[in-house]
Amino acid sequence: MMMSYLFQGWNCRGPAKYRDMLLDIGTEEMAHVEMLATMIARLLESSPVEAQEDAAKNSAVRAVLGGTNLNDVLLAGINPQHAIVTGGGAAPNDSVGFPWNARYTIASGNLLADFRFNVTAESQGRLQVSRLYELTDDRGVRDMLAFMLARDTMHQNQWLAAIEELEQDGLGGTPVPATFPLDRELRAVAHQYWNCSESTASSAGRWAEGPAPDGEGTFEYLAHPTPLGPEPELGTVDPRLHGTPPVPIPATTK
């Protein structure tokens, strides 16, 4: 999330309040990374061999957080490669690093599209932190996670508020991107629900009837949608690509 927010901010061509807000929260995310890195580094110092009855449980938590120490490795057999590569430090690896690990950076230039991503990222993030919280009963780790859960609550609220603001400023709306002329799309199918299975349980939802959220139409439920055109047929392609043709090609005289 750190990288997404910073790049969204650096690329932001909208009003200054958005740019500043993006950089504020991007900076805060960097602090979160430091906090987690420190927590992991400390956990690696303090796990005495004696406390073996708790070891399996603790090492599960540490494995998720990206840390392991020699004793845990020998005892629980988790991810010894991590100890060998990082020597008892945190690392931003995919297979290890988790809450601070934005899998990819989104910065599309369209703030509404990006803010929707941001509220998603904070939602998946808080869900994962809550699961991690349930997995451990270490007091110190839980205190740390309680802080992160609260900040993720703030950030979900923050992005939802930013989406409201953007819409009130006339800078975004459904469907994204709102600046693309609607009459260029095939309006006839813009509010149709297509049932593509034998079950019609899907007809019971809000998405099957009534006004659509974009205020531009009414949902219509097609229980038996039909193809809009015939089955396609492919033609021939350059023989120099040596693909398989419909009928054998006579031998070239070379």
Distances (CA, A) of 86 to 2, 49, 55, 169: 22, 21, 21, 48
CB of 185 to its own copies, least distance (A): 4
Tell me: cis bond preceding 177? Omega within 30 of 0 counts: yes
Of 215-234, which residues contact its own copies (CB under 8 A)?
219, 228, 232, 234
Residue 39 in contact with residue 22, Cβ under 8 Å?
no
Q: Which of 51, 52, 95, 140 binds its own copies (CB under 8 A)?
A: 95
48 binds its own copies (CB under 8 A): no
Q: Which of 38, 51, 52, 140 binds its own copies (CB under 8 A)?
A: 38
Q: Which of 1, 32, 90, 141 binds its own copies (CB under 8 A)?
A: 90
Tell me: cis bond preceding 175? Omega within 30 of 0 counts: yes
Of 122-181, which residues contact its own copies (CB under 8 A)?
123-124, 126-128, 130-135, 142-143, 146-147, 149-154, 156-158, 160-162, 164-166, 168-172, 174-177, 179-181
Q: How far apart are CA 175 and CA 173, in angstroms?
A: 6
Q: Which of 197, 224, 226, 230 binds its own copies (CB under 8 A)?
A: 197
Between 1 and 64, CB nearer to its own copies? 64
Between 51 and 174, CB nearer to its own copies? 174
- State the CB neighbour count (10 A cutoff) for residue 87: 8
213 binds its own copies (CB under 8 A): yes
Residue 52 in contact with residue 75, Cβ under 8 Å?
yes
Q: How far apart are CA 185 and CA 19, in angstroms?
A: 31
207 binds its own copies (CB under 8 A): yes
Which residue(s) pair with 194 in the sheet? 222
Name the token pair of 83.
């100890």
Q: Which of 48, 50, 53, 87 binds its own copies (CB under 8 A)?
A: 87
Between 50 and 104, CB nearer to its own copies? 104
